Structure 1
Amino acid sequence: MTIHLPFAKLSHWHQIAFSAALLERMLPNYQMFSEAADFGNAKVLRNQLDIIWQWLDNSSTVKINSEAQLLKLEAETPDPEAFDSFGVFPALDACMAFSALWQLMQVKPSKKQKTSEIDIDDIQSISRLSHNSVSYYVELLLLEEVEESADEELTITTEQMDEHPLMQWEKDTQNELFDFLKFAAADKRTCKLAKQMSLSEGLSNLGIEII
């Protein structure tokens, strides 16, 4: 169930809002890993996301040094080879998504530039990273079910993956955010509503409770 959304239809501002909303659902995964593995500082990532929301609220007055933020992020990014727990992978996905968002923030589209001409690689990467976190986790859950069944003939099918509630929820959330932002104004109210949509269940994209 790969997610392919026409991100070229979103303005640069709306692409950043979409990305920030997805990161609200990915950040708790990093926080849980950080606490369990005693690595990194989730507050750094939380602060970075808050800065991005502030920029969205009032981009004309909020000035951001994206390069400095990328350096801070690098120090909080885990090396998957240094940890033996599953949690390192969604934590790494969150960091990689943050990195793509900071790169997206550095884009300066001109007033004459059409929306369709804006490079969408970064927002596609963020969408894919969020989806991949869920996909990998769902695959592990289904593998556990197969192992517990003790039936060697059982295999995990693409249909099983696609029909899993977490996969359906990820797809629905991304589609709903996109459909909302496609026609929304670039203002503080849109920021508030996009954030509410991403946090409405009080869970990360892996179903982890947001504290």
Structure 2
Amino acid sequence: MFGDKFYKKLQKLMPWQQTVYALALSERMYPNYCLYAESTGRGDTKLFRQALDTMWQYLTERGMHVDLSAILEKIESSMPEPQKEECYGAWPALDACVALATAYNSVVFRLGDEAYDVCQTSLGSVIGFIEMQHGKELTDEELYAESLIEEEMAFQVELLTAVSQPRDASVILKIKELATQNGVSNLGISLE
């Protein structure tokens, strides 16, 4: 949906930028996971929040040592299984977990396509939510007319600009603040 030029820029991001991009989208999807956990009694919002905070800290504090692989295992073990549930919220919650796991993977394995992958995950989450509301698949034209798609694309463009700055703890913390979106997720869900 973004176009080749945007995706090429994502794929050219340096490893730390890939991580920050993926983590920022995870942060933005956090309310989706919380709503799922609150409404079903499943999931672990404390673990998810700690995993987000630990990674932000890891990226901004020099010399911090943490077992990222152990945290990644915990994230993966707490992922919802939407095909086994009746609650639609399991899908966006899974997307949030996948995004967070991808941010961790970007440090542990460094594949180089994490930003692109999480870009697609977040956008797919928004598309799925809109189509669920409409009860059918929508054409690209219909999707482009949706305000949530506009907001998602605008956010990701702004995020790409933000992560393209030179690495500095203050830049990363500003990106974290941007990603919190005042507690409103990519689906327009608020924790308030």
Shared fold (TM-score, shorter chain, > 0.5): yes
The one of 139, 142, 146 aligned to 2:131:
139
How many residues align structurally?
A: 189
Cα RMSD (Å):
1.9
- The offset of 1:38, in angstroms, is 0.9
Does structure 2 conserve the Cα–Cα contact (< 8 Å) formed by 1:56 and 1:187? Answer: no
Q: Which residue of 146, 158, 161 maps to 2:140?
A: 158
Query: Using a 3 Å threshold, how does the CA distance of structure 1 residues 74 and 9 change in structure 2: closer, same or farther?
Result: closer
Q: Which structure's CA Rg is the greater one?
A: 1
Unaligned stretches of 5+ residues in structure 1 = 109-118, 145-154
Q: Write out aligned runs for 1:14-163 (5 A).
A: 14-58=17-61, 60-107=62-109, 119-143=111-135, 156-163=138-145
Pair 1:191-2:172 in alignment: yes
Match for residue 149 of structure 2? 167
* Deviation beyond 4 Å, 4+ runs, structure 1: none
Q: TM-score if structure 2 supplies the norm length?
A: 0.90
Structure with the higher helix share, 1 or 2: 2
In structure 1, distance between residues paired with 2:2 and 2:191: 26
Q: Secondary structure at the match of 1:200?
A: helix
Q: Percent identity?
A: 30
- CA separation in 1, counterparts of 2:144 and 2:86? 27
State the shift of 1:200 in Å: 3.4
Gaps of 5+ in 2: none
Amino acid at match of 1:82: K
Q: Compared with structure 1, are the counterparts of its residues 191 and 210 closer, same or farther at alpha carbon in structure 2 (3 Å cutoff)?
A: farther
Whole-Å separation in 2 of the counterparts to 1:158 and 1:10: 27
